[in-house]
Chain A
Amino acid sequence: MKHLKQIRILPIVLLCISAGFIALQFFNAPIEQRPVTGPMKNVPKEVTQILERSCYGCHSNAQNLTFLDKLAPISWIVNKDIRRAREVMNFSEWDKLSEVEQKGKFYAIFNMVRAEKMPLPSYAMTHPGAKLSRNEIEIIKQFALSLSKKDSFIPAHMSPVEAGPKVETLTTAIQAGVPVSPNGISYNADFKNWKVIGMSTLIDNSIRVIYGNDIAVKAIQEENFHPWPDGSAIAKVVFKQAKKPNGEIVPGDFVNMQYMVKDGKEYTKTEGWGFAKFNGQELKPTGKTALFAQQSCISCHRQLAESTGYLFNVPPKVNSRKLIEQYLKTASK
């Protein structure tokens, strides 16, 4: 009797599931179709072939979606991934980026594939052909490196003599008010009084100094950055490289100030971090809309700096405790 009941229930359950599945399709909006307006130029074919196979599925306007990709609820995930991917980097609208940005993107691409963060593991699982071999990752690396080969440590307009101690003092001042990023974050000149938490250089010929406010410094000291406490703020100040006669590289012209401030309730779409970037002597804010952080900042931070609470430039664990204790003992004398 019990067995007979089960047999009757099974078709009803299957029918309900099927009806639910069909109902879902009424809430299924296709991804927006956009034209290819500015494809990549001057990129070797072997590089574009890899990108087309592994990345274009999301990072372009030329998707080749399967029937399953278009079915809800899978389509919801697929469409969300494509929208986010296009925001971050779109190979079909490559001409919207400056040459410097394109170079930076190739370093980001290499870092993503090297760390096996891209293609997304879920995408690679369902699209096995998208996976990159070691050789293909090496091809991307070599191409990224080739983009910087022609550069020297010194910007073309700055000779070693000019770059020495007699660099002219920059006199341009901010004329009106405090610059404000489209997401409402203001330029915070107070960073000059914060503690320097690190220094870095990038192959884009910059030299950087990273400052942290008291809350951020305390969080680093206490390894308390999962998540970072609200109010933590980091300022990364970027300069062009200038070469001294003795071969040392020092900060030259100011390029920009990149600012991150933590507010878990305010910046929910960007892992609790608010981003701002102020460029040149005028401190012109980056971004046309408040969405710029979602479109260009958070993707690298999210994928590559998760272990340090989505913040790059936390001082690495490279000093032996004994060495530091020895130093502190000497310093306190």
Chain B
Amino acid sequence: MTATSLTRPASTGGGRGRRPGRSGARSMGGVGRAKRREAIALVVPSLLPVLLLSVAPLLVGVLLAFTDARLVRRPEYEVVGLENFQRLLDNGFFWDSFRIGMVWAVSVTVLQLLAGMGLALLLNADLRLQGLTRVLALIPWAMPPVVVAIMWRMIYSPNAGPLNAALGGLGLPDDINWLADFSTALPAVVVVGVWVGMPQTTVTLLAGLQQIPGELNEAASVDGANAWRRFTAVTLPSLRPIVTSITSLNFIWNFNSFSLVYVLTEGGPGGKTMLPMLFTYLEAFKNRNIGYAAAMGVVLVVVVVLLLSAYLWSQFRAEKER
């Protein structure tokens, strides 16, 4: 949630989360010492579990990456310095999985954005059936990732699945084993990723669209701008901050995604859908090399943070130039 769906929603799986914003800097003037003490007393109880169950583990996790810890009853481990990272450099399977994770995260994020933008524009236009579409657009977001995966396994089922049946009806090849074929497995899970993640993107973009003053579009119309021109000159620039934040968040969530693909394919066939989180999970809990897995986790986090900073920096520059 999601932490996976907690995330992720189900997170995991499942995700949710918005950009925290400042709701008007209403200054309290000189906040008295007593008041401040009161505020701290109110916040501390929420800090404790967080420190114990997320901040401390995160730090320990980084330390683990420099040890040869194994997941056994009586763990005795030694500090091995950078050995895990050196091994990782030569681990072709890890980098394969990393590449698959990138392809997955980038394609899901881009398709989510495009599909979500299309749907948001339709929901913002004056059409019927919007109530139905709104409800439909929210359900995938809320469903348990496991149920989503079970559902799509049925859709993709090679013999009795509706997808192959529909293709057969159109006279196309109808014997594709979508989730087990080397060439279709990754695209097939990407579609499910888009199905799950599109709603949140849509809702966020829709909220942004509804804040664009109608006069802006009217003025552009009067000036003779057609729909496409209005979209590129008025809508898109106004949505830019929202697009930037939702894209960054989606990318991270997708890159950290686990539950959906784990239940859909368990990383198969032949590792073709082995997302980095699955790879790391298997290394830690099946091969029991928890120190080595922690090193993988550290590498993944560092790369994601670097990529994201580069993206945000480029957006920031573009924003400044305007």
A and B are interacting partners: no
Interface residues of B (CB under 8 A from A): none
